[in-house]
Structures are given as structure tokens and as C-alpha cells.
């Protein structure tokens, strides 16, 4: 079961974690699934994506060319999305949209 968490580098809201649909097994599938979310952030915030696993418990910045096949559905693996330069009035909207990706089956 893959998970992803949304973190705000500046702001007041706690990180939000979602469970991803079972077919999201690697970094590329996650990035393809969340492309609408990434597009919606353009001009409103900067998104940085990190792979979290046993080798990188604090996360390592994803290089899509290198990491596209990196599994995110193994125990201890996930994706961390860090939102930078976001205004506090749209933090909640980001969380709502992000959580929607965990609802899709």
C-alpha cells in the first residue's frame, strides 16, 4: 500500500498523509496520477517531491529520469511532497485537492 504526505515548509497546517490506490506502485505512476495537482500549483506554490525509504528516511529529492521505477508501495517507502512559497489562504485548498487523489480508485 503506497502513501504520500503533503508538507508545508511555511505555514501552520500539519502534514497530511493519503493512501494511494493499489495500482500506484512506483514514482512514475504517482507523478502521472498527480499531474493535475502539480498543474494546479503552478504560479501558486513550488512543489518538491522526495522519495522516502529505508535508505533515505528523511527523504531524497526525486529525479524523475533516475527514480521513475523506484517503488513506493514497499514497507517503509512513500513519497513526501513539500509545498514551498504557498500563501496560507490556499493551504487548505491544496490539502483538499491532495486528499482527493487518495480517494480515487
Q: Collapsing DSSP states into helix, strand and coil, what is residue 35?
A: helix
Name the range with the highest mean pLDDT among 7-16, 37-46, 62-71, 93-102: 62-71
Return the half-sphere exposure (C-beta side, CA atoms, 13 A cut-off) of residue 66: 6
Instruction: Identify the pLDDT of residue 105.
Output: 47
Check if the beta carbon of residue 81 is closer than 8 Å to that of residue 6.
Answer: yes
| pTM, rounded to two decimals | 0.84
Instruction: Calculate the average pLDDT of the chain.
Output: 88
Joined grid coordinates for residue 67? 527514480
Task: Convert the pLDDT of each residue in 15-47 to its tens digit.
Answer: 899 998 889 999 999 999 899 889 988 888 899
pLDDT tens for 49-66 read 999 999 999 999 999 899
Amino acid at each position: 500500500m503506497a502513501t504520500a504526505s503533503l508538507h508545508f515548509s511555511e505555514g501552520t497546517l500539519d502534514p497530511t498523509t493519503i493512501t494511494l490506490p493499489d495500482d500506484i506502485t512506483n514514482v512514475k505512476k504517482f507523478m502521472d496520477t498527480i499531474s493535475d495537482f502539480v498543474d494546479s500549483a503552478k504560479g501558486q506554490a513550488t512543489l518538491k517531491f522526495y522519495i522516502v525509504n529505508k535508505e533515505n528516511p528523511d527523504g531524497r529529492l526525486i529525479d524523475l529520469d533516475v527514480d521513475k521505477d523506484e517503488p513506493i508501495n514497499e514497507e517503509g517507502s512513500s513519497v513526501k511532497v513539500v509545498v514551498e512559497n504557498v500563501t496560507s489562504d490556499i493551504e487548505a485548498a491544496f490539502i483538499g485537492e491532495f486528499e482527493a487523489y487518495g480517494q480515487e480508485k
